[in-house]
Structure 1
Amino acid sequence: MTRSLEKFIIFLHIQKTGGITIQRILRRELGPSLSTRVLRAVSAERQSLSLEKAASAKRFEDGFFVGHCCFGIQRYLPQPFTYITMLREPVSRVISLYYYSIDNPTAYYHRHAVNKSLEEFALNTQLMELDNGQVRFIAGDEKSLFINRTPIGECNTDLLETAKENIDQHFSFVGLTEQFDQSMLLLYRMMGWSQSSYLRRNSAKEASRPTVSKRTRQLIAEKNNLDVELYKHVHNRFHQLLSRYGLDDEKLLKRFQIKNQMYRALWGIPYEKYDAFKALFKS
């Protein structure tokens, strides 16, 4: 379905899918967002502020909601609503999360990744985000607003079908990290926004990483078998939408990419310096 202007947008930000870039685009198009991170920083209830309170505290000018949360947060947000999100090939997502966590001491998952191999992190860490995490986030949980709490190793096809149904019924847009430029073209078109250039934010350089063995990749895929099936479902849906909106044109994509290369050449370094300046206050 396409998003009508009356619907409040909920951006379900799954870790390591390119969400920081999407947030910047949404702020540019829709104005301020309701961010639990900002609310925690300014609230006198810092330690006790719940996700429910954060969502319910929406200001009039908030254009959308964004957060690392699961399907269900709409219960505390304006109606009618629509979700958007990005998915990533499951094995690549887990690998990216590991190296990001290792390289960033302030990262939430750093303590889970430090002094562990990729295989130990992916297979032995008791994190639900690493056990069909994308299915968990999109399926939702009536008792949790962060992630589905099905015990590790017990996610089943019923949960997968719930995630598929939620996407088909409640998500205006689901992009793919591996096809980021096409995803942005589709997002702009579906939302009725003018096609704009963007800077890819928080995008790790992966070329210098060690090669991950075929065995390790297979083990990660087996642990995230439902995520693999969900990704296939969304991949097919994504390409159908590209065709429907006339965006499966290589020349159109190439023009968009050239435009973005010029934009990054002009603004990339200033933004990198700005991000480095902000990081000084987080250390």
Structure 2
Amino acid sequence: MEATKKIAKDIQKKLIIFTHIPKTAGTSVRHILMQQYGENAVFMFYDDPTVTTKNADELLNELRGYFRYLPAINNQKFNSWVKLRVISGHKPFGIHSLLPVNNFHYITLLREPIERVISFYYHIFGRTEHSLDYLISCKQSIQFDNLQVRMLSGVGWKVPYGNCSSKMLEQAKYNLIHYYTFGIQDRFAESLEIFSKYLGLSQVQIVAENVGVNKPKSSCIDQETLHLIAQQNLLDIELYQFAKHLFKERQIQCRSVD
């Protein structure tokens, strides 16, 4: 119990890096963080998540554009000069290595992989003439290919479509254990409880943001398409099962933080 309390207090002193996996209720979490820390304390990357991850200089320049009083040099203590509490965006694990930050902690939300792919399709492609199975078959978007493993392992979009590996899966599991406080999208209230305890949030107001409309559940999708999604996301499915078990363990630990 005491060890868990110490971990929570330690996390609350660190810069929070939010790995926002698309279509996992991450926009709602980001708004909660803005409510808690203030809008000026949350930096959000706005670029397209399908492009190559920016290098260190580009990231720092973007930060400087947001915090105009950020010093021109890369000082290890830059975080004490600005009121930056959270960095958020569709960026894979590893941003900490590109920034002059020593004390950091990652958070994220995961989602059942098949539901996430369906949600992404209707959010981006739902008004097009192309079917979901067609877009997956022609490898239209990297978001159809084990995106959660890609982001949590840190490889992001550097690995070509269809080339995700078991090594990437194991790295994602390792990072989830050692670097992340995380939640599960379909257990959102319980996830916020964990975030609140470990991040020191208070009086959290749940805000539904960027919610898909007119999106069918997986039970309404034909079996052939569901099978195609599953085959394309086997590593994500295994990661999600692993995360659900780990989430239960974290819930037990969370109850000891009072």
Q: Deviations over 1:231-257 (max 9, x none)?
A: 01111111111122239xxxxxxxxxx
Q: TM-score, normalised by structure 1?
A: 0.72
Q: TM-score, normalised by structure 2?
A: 0.78
CA contact (8 A) 1:12 1:83 kept: yes
CA distance in 2, matches of 1:175, 1:125: 29
The Cα of 1:53 is off from its aligned counterpart by: 2.9
CA contact (8 A) 1:134 1:227 kept: yes
Q: Structure 2: which 5+ runs fail to align?
A: 1-6, 48-56, 68-81
Q: Which amino acid aligns with 1:22?
A: V
Superposition pairs of residues 43-122 of structure 1, within 5 angstroms: 50-55=58-63, 59=67, 60-77=82-99, 78-103=101-126, 114-122=128-136
The Cα of 1:196 is off from its aligned counterpart by: 2.1
The Cα of 1:198 is off from its aligned counterpart by: 1.6
1:166 aligns with 2:178: no
1:37 aligns with 2:46: yes
The Cα of 1:206 is off from its aligned counterpart by: 4.8
Give the alignment partner of residue 143 of structure 2, picking from 129, 142, 147: 129
Q: Deviations over 1:175-208 (max 9, x none)?
A: 1111111111111122222242222111123566
Q: How many residues align?
A: 222
Give the alignment partner of residue 187 of structure 2, picking from 179, 185, 205: 179
The Cα of 1:135 is off from its aligned counterpart by: 0.4
The answer for the alignment partner of 1:272 in structure 2 is none
Q: Structure 1: which 5+ runs fail to align?
A: 39-48, 105-113, 142-146, 248-283
Note closer, same or farther for the CA distance 1:123–1:246 as it changes in structure 2 (3 Å cut). farther
**Could you say what secondary structure the match of 2:11 adopts?**
coil
CA distance in 1, matches of 2:240, 2:214: 21
Higher relative contact order, chain-length normalized (CA < 8 Å, sep 6+): 2
CA distance in 2, matches of 1:246, 1:123: 45
